[in-house]
Structures are given as structure tokens and as C-alpha cells.
Amino acid sequence: MRATLFPLDGPLRFLLLSSFLIPLGSFMVLPFMSVFLYERLGMGLGAVGVVLAVASLVQFSGGIVGGALADRIGLRRTMLWALIIRTAGFVGLLLGLRWPPLAVGALVLTCCGAALYLPANKAYLVHGVDDERRPAFLAAGNAALNAGMAVGPLVAGPFVLSSPGWLFVSVTALFVLVTAGHARLPAARVGESGGQSAGQGLLAGVAALPFAANALAFYLYFHFQHFLAVYAVERATSTFYSLVLLLCFTLVIVVQPLASGLIRRMPYATALAAGFTGLAAGLAVLAIGTRPALLAGGALITLGDIVLFLKNDLEALHRSPRSDAVVFGQQRLAAGLGACASGVLGGQVYGLTEQAGNTGWFWLLAAAQCVLLPLLLLALRERPARHPTPLMTTTKER
């Protein structure tokens, strides 16, 4: 791993540091927004749910717009504008303490910034990197991202309700500094396919199987993401739930970079089978409902997703003729569709099992879907790659 990543030049070191700092600042605020909107601003729970659903859909699915924008104006400029928009969103949250309706628009604005930023960030990170080293760079970026997501709530938890003003000021200042650093990045060169495909549709050249597999993986994973909190707190404590999340973040940070080379070499069908099997096993274990089962289930689900999320991105890059940024944007759209479907359908099913008095069935039904739904992907499998080596770049960023 060290030999693959190093030596890193200054821009890549800064980008990996930013991949930690940006989710650190974001997750000092975003995980607490439901509590903040409900308790601090007095919104009803129904309204809070709608706001968070819209924000999540924008943050994930808006990535396809971010990819197209990066294809048109360049990676560095897209990241810079995304950070400016996101910084404005955190300023809006600060002002929302005086005028609560502004907080809703500010939250959506921060999600718009996130949607624009991530495809360009990933594309810049792997720009000019050969196929063998790409998994390591993507895994390192994912590790930095998850580290920031894990640390952010721990830092902000004591202050989000008692001193939200100072918290929002601190996060805004952090984003101002990160934005200034991005302004000094050298311009990356966009690949020939990016320049020639700038006028194409958002879904032109989409890699059908990785797109569908990514949507399905996020649909199944977000059963865990959306509903574990309610399930775990009933059987343990909120502190124990935080411990489960910390275990999951730690596994991504440690295991994915180490396993990135193995995941790259793994045949795609094998990766899909291994990933969905891990999801199925983890979801089934959660149905037991004990504390050890919550830890074991979370670990198995995370290991399955470590394989699925990375391999789907790598396969999409290999199969699509579009630029890296557009491909990452298309994969984010798939993630958003899957996460949204999980919230809508999973919420109904969880409610039914709760009314029946046994929410353990919810996890067993989700596990059964991990076995049955991937069979639908067989109709899309084994389409040949459109080009053997994705994005060997020659054209300068505009």
C-alpha cells in the first residue's frame, strides 16, 4: 500500500487532507440536523423527515450534475465552486438561528455543494494514475472520508444544542480555509473523452451493470443506515449504537486500503457475490438483536460494502467511455436512487414489522432481498468494456 501511494506530491497530499477535513466539518453538523431542526427550531417530525429526505436525495443524486459540470469547466473549478456553495450553506445555518426557515434552505445548499464536489474530487485524485494504482488512491480517499465522518460527531456532540452558533462559526471557518487551499491547486487536465462528450446527455455512456449494482447495493445498505438507530437504541443504548458506527467506520478506514489491490484483481461476478453475501449475512445477524449481534452484523455489512462500493466504481470507470468525473457522477446518481428507495420502501416495511411486534423480521426480509435481487443483475452482466484503459488524459482543463 505504501509503495503504491507514495511518493505523493503536494496537491494530492492536500486533497487527501481535504477528504478528511471536509467530512469532519460536515459531520460536526449534519448528523445532528434532525435533532437541531426538531428541538432547537421547533419543526414537526413529519416536516423534519421530508427535509432530510430531500437533502439526502440532492446530496447523492446531484452528483451526476457535478460530474457533468466538471466535464465542462474542469475539476479544480468545480471543486472550488462546490466549496463556495457549501460554505454559504453553513453561513445560512448560522443565520438560521435568528430566522429558522433559512436553516432549511441552508441545509439543502450544503447538500448541493457536496453533490458538486465529490465526483470532481475523486476524478482529480485518480487523474493520471494507472489502472493498478487507482484502487489504492480511491481507497485512501474513502478512508480519509470515513475518518472525518467518524471524528466529526464525536467533536461536535456536546455543543450542537448547547452552543450551535459557535459550532457553525467554527465549521464555516474550516470551509473557508479549505476553499482557499483548493484555489491554489494546479489545474488538472481533463481527458479527451471528457472534452468530446461535454455536450452529451447526463446518462450517455452509462455502464449499465455497475450503475444497477451500485443502486442495489446502496438500497440494501441504507436499510442498515436508516433504521439501525431505532432498532439498536431499543435494545441497547445510544452510546452502544455510536460504538457500532465507530466499528464500521474503522473497518472502512483500515480494511479497504489494504484490500484495494485484491478487490481490483477480483473478477466482477466474484466481487458482487462476495459483497451481497456479506450484506445478507450481516442483515440476518442483526435480527438476533443482542449487542454482540449488532456489532457482528454491522461488521459483516461493512465488509460487504467495502467490496461492492469500490469494485462498482472501478468497473464503471473501466466500462464507460465518459470522463472520470461523469462516471463518478453517474455512480452517485445510482447511490441516491438506491438510498431514496430504501428510505421509502424500507420505512413502510419497518413500520409493518413494528406493528406486528417483531422488528427482527425487517432484517430477515432485507437479507432475503440481498439473495434474490442480485439475480436481476444477470440480465446486464458481461457486456464488454468500451475501452481498456479509462481516461488517459491529454487535454488541459478549461
Q: What pLDDT is stored for residue 189 in this prediction?
A: 52
- In this structure, what are the phi and psi dihedrals at residue 335, rounded to the nearest 5 degrees? -60, -40
CA distance 260 to 231: 32
Q: Over the chain (398 residues), what is each successive 10-residue block's mean pLDDT?
A: 58 88 86 70 68 79 87 91 94 84 87 91 82 82 84 73 80 94 78 48 84 94 82 79 84 88 92 96 95 95 94 92 88 87 81 86 95 85 48 35
Three cell numbers written together for 330: 453517474
**What integer pLDDT is reported at residue 2 of this predicted model?**
55
Residue 344, number of CB atoms within 10 A of its CB: 10
Structure confidence at residue 194 (pLDDT):
42
- pLDDT of 269 reads 92
Q: What is the pLDDT of residue 129?
A: 73
Can you say whether the dihedral through the CA atoms of 94, 97, 103, 107 is positive or negative? positive
The whole-number pLDDT of residue 237 equals 76
Long-range contacts of 48-54 (CB under 8 A, 24+ apart): 51/104, 51/107, 51/108, 53/340, 53/343, 54/108
Quick one: 285 exposed, middle or buried, by C-beta within 10 A (0-12, 13-18, 19+)? buried
All cell numbers assigned to 130: 494507472
Instruction: Flag whether the pTM goes above 0.85.
Output: no
pLDDT of residue 35: 67
Q: How far apart (Å, rounded) are the C-alpha atoms in residues 201 and 314?
A: 22
